[in-house]
Structure 1
């Protein structure tokens, strides 16, 4: 931003520009951290047990909420599946008894 551009900005447009630049730098930083994790995971992969995922090695702060939601959804799906299986087998038992 040039000196003249700075003086033509209103306070609101200046803060918008600053916030946009911060978001851009944040995204760039996250991309670099993700690339670092990829390299680290690739180097460690031959020595890790089967089924190990990248998030098992290193979880970033911005990923924790999403991982928690995924675990909750997985748990709810598992409970629903168990309920469906129980209902199915109860129907099968009722058919056998009659």
Structure 2
């Protein structure tokens, strides 16, 4: 992630979590972008040789994150989503409270 030791040890758990999540999202985005570019090149090279001249890149090769029925994702109801958000808020408030108490 490129953090210096001094900066790393100065971070609160919440800030580190946010930096870590942002870093992971960037890595995942770059990963997907590289695969999309590879598919475009592959499709450009194969297009003249395809029997179906109307084929698209996705018809030729689709990625798991492009399919509609993604089994990994779970569809949450609005109530369940609100409950999870409230749990996260409570969790981080407890950490912040402990940190403030330890400074006093």
Matches of 1:14 and 1:35, distance apart in 2: 32
Which of 45, 48, 69 is equivalent to 2:47? 45
Structure 2 unaligned residues grouped into runs of 5+: 70-104
Q: What does the per-residue CA deviation read over 1:40-69, in whole Å, with 9 as the maximum and x for residues that have no partner? A: 001100011210000011111111128xxx
C-alpha displacement of 1:26: 0.4
Task: Name the residue aligned to 2:11.
Answer: 9
In the alignment, structure 1 residue 64 sits paired with structure 2 residue 57: no
Q: Higher helix share goes to which structure?
A: 1
Task: Report the structure number with the largest CA radius of gyration.
Answer: 1
TM-score w.r.t. structure 1 length? Answer: 0.64
Q: How many residues align?
A: 66
Q: What does the per-residue CA deviation read over 1:2-58, in whole Å, with 9 as the maximum and x for residues that have no partner? A: 111001100111111111000000000010000000010011000112100000111
Q: CA RMSD in A?
A: 1.2
Task: Name the residue aligned to 1:55.
Answer: 58
- Asked which structure has the greater RCO (Cα within 8 Å, sep 6+), the reply is 2
TM-score w.r.t. structure 2 length? Answer: 0.61
Task: Name the residue aligned to 1:36.
Answer: 38
